[in-house]
Structure 1
Amino acid sequence: MAGRSTDPTGMEPVSSVSAQVTYQEVERAAQEVGLIVMGAQHPRESRAKQLDTGTLILLGTAAEFWPRFIASPEWTDGRSDPVDRWSSRVIGELAADMGAKPYFPFGGPPYTPFIDWALKSGRTYQSPVGALVHDTVGMLISYRGALHFPMEFDLPPVPGSSPCTDCPAPCTTACPVSALNADSFYDVEACHGYLDTQAGQTCMTSGCMARLACPVSEGAGRQPDQTAHHMKAFHPS
């Protein structure tokens, strides 16, 4: 664990690591536990909600996440919410080791404004069907947490344009019941209704057809078992 001292006010922990950390170090540490950096920003510049200083790093699942996760105690203990509990433990440990404060997209209300943070990272956009789309994992986005460092450090440039700009938008026509479409965005009732049918079992095991239709989604390297787990959590039988 990184050495930590106490702020003279006694209000916040201060880490000797946070003043030295680099983006590349955070990226490597994330990769070692099956995560990827899905966005980074200086809240002072991006005007991210709830934050106005330091450096914010958004973390999501890598292709290597699932094999690591199913070997974890959170998966094998049979208790509920294994992915959230894994995220809390692993990202909490990263935060402690690197002198950051962890945030998570679950556990509310109140909820952390991850959608705002994602959109202001310069790497996530709104797709033609309303769902978020990321520059490397497409519509198979799975934010697991974020690290907020008290100091600003250098960040790599971002692409600057949405992957949807020159895309023929197959996501707008892929859903069998048009639950995700370009006109009304997401029809939740139609989606859940279809998943209750025999035909809908393909979505339950393979994943949302609209999200899979996104060409960039291939970059997620998502394994079928992981997709099935997320679908079951979204639509319990």
Structure 2
Amino acid sequence: MSNHRQAKDPRLQKISSQLAAHGLILRGGFVFGDGEAALEPSEARPAKSVLLVGQAGAAPWPYFLGWREQQPRDLQNPLDTWSREVIDMVAAHFSAWTVYPSDKPYQPFQQWAMRAEGLKPSPLGILMHPEYGLWHAYRGALLFADEIPIPDIHDPIHLCDQCVGKPCLKSCPVDAYSGDGFAYQSCLAHVRGTDGEPCRAGGCLDRNACPYGTGYRYPADVQAFHMASYAGL
């Protein structure tokens, strides 16, 4: 990929300001390199740049709840719907188009995030951020037909390398995370079962055991919302 050291693109600050009005933030980005597969949206324009949109901690939660109160009670996937509305609105102001983690064909969001922010996976599979710990997320991506110079990133410290005890691998009642990967069915059965109330009410015990980024930890009601969505409760 070519090295871009031009002056900072003024769109970055403007996009950041619009996202901040909803508790969202830019999570880095990059210019697609020569020979990389260009994405072809319905307009048949090749994407040359991508900016990731996400959150740190539970900052979007009050904005989402205010929106949710105005929606039908039976609305499916409300957080995804809200994210799409906000990010699509921002994209329209900057002649960008959007893709989301749940869109098919699935885009390599985790690979994009690792490339954009220099992050590495934790033992739980969630990318470890040097400030936010495990308490962050990616909600979508803005794609552009032109090259947007992105400030260079420096490889951040991977906090998991400094963590000797790995409490994130010792707190789950059913040992869902191990060297063999994530035992999805065991986790799901436990969360839905009679002994799963602590997980349903307060979130993943392994994730909560991580000592990093605790200032960004999602409140219990936010974790319960995500757990209910995950388990189909």
Q: Same fold judged by TM-score > 0.5?
A: yes
Provide closer, same or farther for how the CA distance between residues 58 and 154 of structure 1 changes in structure 2, counting only shifts above 3 A.
closer
Number of aligned residue pairs: 216
Aligned to 2:168: 171
Structure 1 residue 131, shift from structure 2 partner: 3.6
CA separation in 2, counterparts of 1:24 and 1:34? 15
CA separation in 1, counterparts of 2:215 and 2:107? 26
Contact 1:38 1:59 in 2 (8 A): yes
User: 2:22 aligned to 13, 33, 53, which one?
Assistant: 33
Q: Which moved more, 1:97-106 or 1:72-81?
A: 72-81
CA separation in 2, counterparts of 1:74 and 1:105? 25
CA separation in 2, counterparts of 1:164 and 1:50? 33
CA separation in 2, counterparts of 1:44 and 1:171? 36
Provide closer, same or farther for how the CA distance between residues 136 and 228 of structure 1 changes in structure 2, counting only shifts above 3 A.
same
| Structure 1 counterpart of 2:175, one-letter code | S
Structure 1 residue 22, shift from structure 2 partner: 3.7
Aligned to 2:156: 160
Contact 2:25 2:54 in 1 (8 A): yes
Structure 2 counterparts to residues 1-237 of structure 1, below 5 A: 21-44=10-33, 50=38, 54-62=48-56, 63-73=58-68, 76-78=71-73, 79-108=75-104, 110-149=105-144, 150-168=146-164, 169-181=166-178, 183-237=179-233
CA separation in 2, counterparts of 1:135 and 1:48? 29
CA separation in 2, counterparts of 1:220 and 1:48? 35
CA separation in 1, counterparts of 2:159 and 2:70? 34
Uncovered stretches (5+) of structure 2, i.e. residues with no partner = 1-7, 40-45
The alignment's TM-score, normalised by the length of structure 1, stands at: 0.79
CA separation in 1, counterparts of 2:177 and 2:213? 16
Structure 1 residue 148, shift from structure 2 partner: 1.9
Q: Greater RCO between the two (CA within 8 Å, min separation 6)?
A: 2
Uncovered stretches (5+) of structure 1, i.e. residues with no partner = 1-18
CA separation in 2, counterparts of 1:77 and 1:218? 34
Contact 1:40 1:121 in 2 (8 A): yes
| Structure 2 counterpart of 1:40, one-letter code | G
